[in-house]
Amino acid sequence: MSARLQQYRMLWQAAHAHIHPRAQTVLWSAIVILTVAMAPLMGAVYGVLAGLGWALCTPAGLLLFDWTFAFVPGALGVNTPANAQLVPAMRTRLVELVLLVWLAAVGLLAAGLQLIPETPHLVLPFAMAGTLGAAMLVAGVGAGVVLVLPFFFSFLSDEWQEWLRDAAAQPGVVPLLAVAMVLLAVPAVRSLFPRGGERHWAMREHLALWSGGSGGSAWWEGTRRYSVRRFRARHGTRRHTPGALLLRALGPDLFYLMVSTTLGVALAFAAITWHLRGTLIAQETVPTMVMIGAVMLCFLFPAAAVPFWLARTRGEQALVRLAPVSPVDPARFNTLLARTMLRQGLAVWAWCSAVSLLLALASGAGGIELVWQACLCCVTLPALALVLRDHARAPRWGMVFYGLAALGLSLIGPILAVFGAKWLGWPVWSIATPIALVLTATLVQRRWRRMCSAPMAFPAGRLE
């Protein structure tokens, strides 16, 4: 093996180890399991060529996902002056490796899409632009916003969508777009790894904030000027409520943060619905309900990230301030914290559910669609159990993986309900909702006991 290949291998392993020690194991296991599961299934349904296409597209999609949310953030963390002294030309090797992995995944995806019949022509350009844009945004490069704009394609009017599809169907258009994206990828990837100076440290601070590092505390501290936060602190002190004061260690109240986030999403969706009124629900009821249900992501990912945020906040100082009202016994302290965090998580879930139901109602949904939407809100409840854990120990996964865990817990009910619906003949949501509620109760009970019997939560994340 040449010296350059050895450096590539070392940087690949170091970037993934920077995210989690077993990140590579998870990646390759997911590629093998999903490819073995999807390729025969699609081949049996759509033909041998489609099966071969899915056998290529599945690992390509997983590799692109890993590249965007694991490998690139890990490579940004590895790109430090100290490591650059240990590895000669490390920045150049990182740029080369990031480009090579992205090109390999894109090439594999393009080959697989050619074998799948009736594949939309815009899938490949959208995948290329989306992964590059997301990686740039993670690194703090604001120009990545332009590359993620294609994901708003579904919000365009029918005339614009039809025009774009017809343009992409013309011979040579998709290869031309792919070549343009490859040429754009070179300066985009180089912008992820600056040579140093103030821009380098600004990007490092942004990465720490995004990943929940030391920058997260500074971000929360920067919101101290908000009057709502000061009002909540005065209110909790005056009423002598230890639980409300304990959550001060998380920074601004998570409930009000989610209120502002979902309110912005609701206003944006209302404006789009008003612009496209008469066609949104009447023609595409189910896709619209799924789009409205995406509001629940405002609950899923923050609920999953609470343990990560808590471990990165200044719990020691908050505990000193709350000493007169906080229980000294670890079990009582953890019980108080668990009860308060669970109550706050339920409030966030209730708010997001109410917003999604009101959006569905305002969009013209009928009784059946509203029931679907309510069931969709219920299947996200298992993610609420993620806030209960041994907070004295540092989280082993990053914020993105906690979000994926929340999403996976929410999919357990619908996946089991699909098989149950074929056996019982009932609607899928009528089976998925009870499964989600039972799963929520089981997880909350188990994790509640584990949290209450753990060492004192604060200072959070002090144990490995």
CA 85 to chain CA mean position, Å: 34
Q: Alpha carbon of 176 to those of 122, 162, 180, 321, 332: distances in Å?
A: 12, 20, 6, 61, 64
Residue 393 has φ and ψ, to the nearest 5°, of -100, 140
Q: What is the pLDDT of residue 295?
A: 65
Q: What is the pLDDT averaged over residues 403-414?
A: 82
Do 63 and 103 contact (CB within 8 A), yes or no?
A: no
> Which amino acid makes up residue 204?
R
- Which pair of structure tokens corresponds to residue 417? 């309900």
Q: What is the pLDDT averaged over residues 410-418?
A: 85
Distance (Å, whole) CA 157 – CA 179 = 28
pLDDT tens string 142-180: 777 777 776 666 556 566 677 777 777 777 778 888 888
pLDDT tens string 226-256: 444 554 555 555 555 666 666 665 554 555 6
Q: What is the pLDDT of residue 85?
A: 64
Q: What is the pLDDT of residue 213?
A: 45
Pick from 235-239, 291-295, 420-424, 433-437 the range whose average pLDDT is largest.
Answer: 433-437
Mean pLDDT of the residues in the chain: 75
Q: ∠380-386-388 over CA atoms, to 5°?
A: 135
pLDDT bracket for residue 431 (50, 70, 90) = confident
Exposure letters 148-178 (e unless 16+ CB within 10 A, then b): bebeeeeeeeeeeeeeeeeebeeeeebeebb
- The better pLDDT of the pair 106, 312 is held by 106
pTM (predicted TM-score): 0.58
What is the percent of the chain with per-residue pLDDT over 90, rounded to a whole number?
9
Crossing angle between the packed helical segments 428-452 and 367-378, to the nearest 10 degrees: 30
pLDDT bracket for residue 223 (50, 70, 90) = very low
- The better pLDDT of the pair 65, 458 is held by 65
Q: What is the pLDDT of residue 283?
A: 47
Q: Is 282 a residue whose pLDDT tops 50? A: no
Q: What is the pLDDT of residue 443?
A: 93
Q: Is 219 a residue whose pLDDT tops 50? A: no
Q: Is 363 a residue whose pLDDT tops 50? A: yes
